[in-house]
Structures are given as structure tokens and as C-alpha cells.
Structure 1
Amino acid sequence: MKDIKLIAIDIDGTLLNSERKLTPGVISTIKQANAAGKKVVICTGRPLAGAREYLKPLGLDGQDDQYIISFGGALVETTTGYGLIEETLSYDDYIKIEAIARKANLHFHASSDDCVYTANRNIGKYTVHESVLCSVGIKYRTQEEMADKKIYKCMYVDDPEILSNAMAKYQADFDQLAKEYMLVKSTPFYLEATRKGVNKGTALKALTEKLGLTPENVMAIGDEANDLSMIEYAGTGVAMGNGTDLVKSTANVVTADNDHDGVAQAIKSVL
């Protein structure tokens, strides 16, 4: 078995069960791993504010030597909120990405530290969902009012069928956008855009190297397409039993699903 010193874990569909809760088995196993000197790093599309409620019971919150990868890899920080690596989108990037939402008639928002910004007067239900999920507010802002805002990622957010149909109808536009930015579906109703080359895998690589570790020292656990990059980077890539077929075919190991403590099962194998 590889000498695993860092365990990277996605939140939704991975760390949490289908009721979006931490189970006692996952909590106790992660605490065991932490006590054994293994770094447990939450890797999520959420900001730190949206992960704190899970970091706290895991004993990982508010520490200068514990880390979180947030906004899908755009920010690496300590769990005290000290930023180590930051990759933001410019105002010009925002205008370019948002223009396709207008053309395709999709709901859209941009994620910052403390809120999500939307130019949709009729705020989409998935923007509200993201606000609640991430424990941040929602602010309506016109394009012009976004010029001085810090943006980590942009998101097209709509019902799965609406989003998929728009992506098919405007495939040429999305294909062109993908040449300039990192596009990934994190759920059937979210299509996220970050700077080119920014994803969970590149962020995990940067943190791993900063800590003096190698991919062989890393286990990464996830379930969706936005977890692929970190699963590919890690020496031991683990797919959840509830993961997509692509994630399962990419991973070295398939563990139990998120309703049967798949994360705990994977971690126990390296304790």
C-alpha cells in the first residue's frame, strides 16, 4: 500500500450522504486519519464559508496547518482563511462568459468570497440553492457593476434538461469558451467556468508540492466530473460507488457509495 499522507475529499455526493449529512462512521474515521498525521483536505466548489459546518465536527476548522481547496480549485487556503493560492477571473472574463448565458437564456451567477452575484432580475432557483448551500448571500448586480468584484468562478445554473439543451443548441459557443476557460459540470444543473488550467487537480498538485509531498502520497476521493482532475493526479484515485461511470473508470479504486460510508471505507484501507 502506498504511503498516503494527504487525503483529498469532495463534499457533495462524497463526504456527505444523500441527506447531505456527515455520518458517525465518516467523522470517526477522518478523526483517526488526522490523529495518525494524515492531512485531510476538503476539495469543493463551495467557499470556505460553505464548508465550515462540516470542517468543525471533523476537527479541521480554524487551523493554520489544515487546508481547504475551494471554488473548484480557484482558491487554496488554510481553514483559518489565509489564502495560499488564488486564481480569479477578470471583468473581461466575466463579460465573455456571461454573454453566452444571455444568448442561451440561461440563469447565471458569479461566485465571490461572501456572496453570489447575478444579473438575473428573476433570480434562478439554483442561484438560491447555491446561496443556501454555501452559506453566502445573493446580490443583484448589472454587468457594469461587476467591474471591481473578485470572481473565483462563474456558473450556468438551470434545470438539467434546460442546461443540456442549451449546451447542445449553442455547442459552438461553449466549445469556443472551453478553449479559453475550464468548463466542468459539477452537477446536472451546474456548469462551472474557471480560469484555464484551474481545477481541483491543479490546486491539489500545488498544495501537495507546497507540503513537500508527491502524488504517491495522495489519495483523492470523489464522485462527479469536477473530481476527475484530482482523481487522475493522486497516486490513489478513489471513486464513490454512487459516482459517474467516467469517474469509476478513471479511478484506481471504487469504494462504497455515500450512503454506506464509502469515504470511511477508503480511508480505513490506508490507516
Structure 2
Amino acid sequence: MIKLIATDCDETLLSTDKTIHPRNLKAIKKAQEMGIIVSIATGRGPYQLFDILDQIDNVKENRFSILCNGGIIIDNVTKKVVEASPIDYKKAVEVSDYCNEKNVHFEIYTDKHCYVFPNGNEVKGTYDKNIYKFVKKAKDIKDLDKEIIIKVIIKNSDLNYLMSLEEDVARICNWDVSISYSSDTFMEINRKNVNKAKALEKLCEHYGFGMENVLTVGDNYNDKEMLEEAGYSAAVQNAHLLLKDVSKYTTKATNDQGAVGEAIEKFVFNEI
């Protein structure tokens, strides 16, 4: 029996224009009325959720959001961090030095800000430009040891190029990091063994049930573990092939057509 639904945001819950399809809103509302817990599980930072939680009526006590690919969990009411798995400051420095040497755009996510180091690059992609409302441009990483560094991302609109950097980044960090990809634009670097599935396991432990009672919905490589490990899982139609391979179900709808709603209709309401 499904007791918790965890959905990714970009290219999954959110349409291309960053709105939430009515089919998704209707299904989420009905599921919550049935007593099912809904949780956001995203690569975004806490300052990048904007009004998503309000739209899905999820600003409630004992409700949490998984952010930065599982690097932090926040309380939806207080917005305080209740669990954090930060990346080592020295590793962040090593990655930033590498990026500066390669002259690629990178960003450092802390619990409070997103620091952007563009290195003169303008990156094209489908990411939400409004994300940068709470961004700080930075020239170096020197003072960031005073904040909790949750993840580092390297950004390039050529996904193949990003993937070609993976071995270098892993080696620089002594193979002690987790690397994933999102939006076909970001290489996401977290602390080793940090992912959305691990964070979901912590939520399940808090609520008193297991991953077999969870439905997950996603589209990209940073969703892989949670789709593999949940009892029920759906890749949206616009997901990468790998995600479709590891999921229990692939929706007919894309993120622009209410794919999350379709997954809930199938697994929770048994309507499909």
C-alpha cells in the first residue's frame, strides 16, 4: 500500500513553463485527502522552491522536502534544515580549482545561497531562470567554509561534454563523491552515498514504514536510485531511457501533460 509519494520537480512535476499541470494538482490533492504523504525530492536548493509547496498544499506540520539530491531535508513549515549531508569544503575547493582551470561554469549550493562562478560562460538550457533570484555571484570560494556546502554543480549545455569530465572530478575527489546529472545541463556533485533514495529512507524511518510503501516519480539520472528502490515507481514519458528501464512504469504523459497525475491515478487510485 502506498503511504508516501515523492516527486521530482523540474521536467517531472513542473511543466516546461514551470507551472504545475491541473492533472497533477488534482491527483495530489485527492491523494493527500486520502491521508497519503506527499514529498518533493529535487536537486533544487531550499531557496529555489518558491511557491511550489503552497501550490500543492504541502506547507503542513510533519511534512518535509528532500533538496539538493538528498543533501538536505527541510521542514516544510519552518523551512529549517532537519538533516544535512554536506560535502567536504576541501573537495569543493578542489572541484572549483578544476573548473577554473577548465574555464567551465560551476555553482556551489549551501544551505543558504547558490553561489555562481560563470567563468564568462552563458549556458543555454531549459532550466528556470527564476532560480537565480537568490543567487550570489562570486569570484572565489575562500569564505564559503563558514556555510554548509551541500553540493557543487558544473553546468554546460553539452551533456556529453559534462560526462567526459566525470572521471576527472571523481579522481580529484579521491572517488569520495556521488555524481549525477539533471536537466541535461548539470553535473551534480554530492557527498558520497548521498542521493534521493537515501533521504527517502530517512523519511520512511521517521514515519514508521518502508520504501515498499513509496511511489516515486522522476525523469533524470539524479532520480535513478529513488526509482530503483521504491516499491512503486514511474518515469515520465520525457525521461531518459535509463530511467524508463529501472522504473516499474512509464507514463504516457510528458511533464507538460500531467505525468505525475497519471502515475498517481495508476498506482494510488487504480484508474489506469
2:257 maps to which of 245, 250, 260: 260
Query: Structure 1 residue 197 and structure 2 residue 206: aligned?
Result: no
Matched letter for residue 217 of structure 1: N
SS at match of 2:5: strand
**TM-score normalised according to structure 1 size:** 0.89
Matched letter for residue 158 of structure 1: N
Matches within 5 A, 1:116-195: 116-120=114-118, 122=120, 124-125=122-123, 132-133=130-131, 135-160=133-158, 164-165=160-161, 167-168=163-164, 170=165, 172-176=167-171, 177=173, 179-195=175-191
> Take 1:171 and 1:7, find their aligned partners in 2: how far apart are those partners?
31
Deviation for aligned residue 1:148: 1.7
| Maintained 8 Å contact 1:119/1:143 | no
SS at match of 2:149: coil
Counterpart residue number, 1:82: 80
Deviation for aligned residue 1:122: 3.6
Counterpart residue number, 1:100: 98
SS at match of 2:256: coil
Counterpart residue number, 1:242: 238
Deviation for aligned residue 1:7: 0.3
How big is each residue's C-alpha offset from its partner over 1:158-214, in whole Å with a ceiling of 9 and x where there is no partner? 222xx633643x554134247210011112211010100001111111111111111
> Take 1:105 and 1:232, find their aligned partners in 2: how far apart are those partners?
35
| Maintained 8 Å contact 1:51/1:134 | no
Q: 1:105/1:130 Cα in 2 relative to 1: closer, same or farther (>3 Å)?
A: farther
Once structures 1 and 2 are overlaid, which stretch shifts more, 117-126 or 77-86?
Answer: 117-126
| Maintained 8 Å contact 1:114/1:137 | no
Q: 1:167/1:261 Cα in 2 relative to 1: closer, same or farther (>3 Å)?
A: closer
Q: 1:257/1:221 Cα in 2 relative to 1: closer, same or farther (>3 Å)?
A: same
| Maintained 8 Å contact 1:117/1:141 | no
* Aligned Cα root-mean-square deviation (Å): 2.1
| Maintained 8 Å contact 1:224/1:244 | yes
| Maintained 8 Å contact 2:162/2:187 | no
Counterpart residue number, 1:66: 63
> Take 1:178 and 1:19, find their aligned partners in 2: how far apart are those partners?
39
Matched letter for residue 55 of structure 2: P
How big is each residue's C-alpha offset from its partner over 1:130-166, in whole Å with a ceiling of 9 and x where there is no partner? 7722641223142322232221110101222xx6336
Q: How many equivalent residue pairs?
A: 264
Matched letter for residue 262 of structure 2: Q
Matched letter for residue 39 of structure 2: V
How big is each residue's C-alpha offset from its partner over 1:32-71, in whole Å with a ceiling of 9 and x where there is no partner? 111110001010111233224111121112x221110011
> Take 1:180 and 1:131, find their aligned partners in 2: how far apart are those partners?
31
Deviation for aligned residue 1:123: 6.6
Q: 1:178/1:191 Cα in 2 relative to 1: closer, same or farther (>3 Å)?
A: farther
Counterpart residue number, 1:109: 107
**TM-score normalised according to structure 2 size:** 0.89
Q: Mind listing any 5+ residue stretches in structure 2 that lack a counterpart? A: none
Deviation for aligned residue 1:99: 2.3
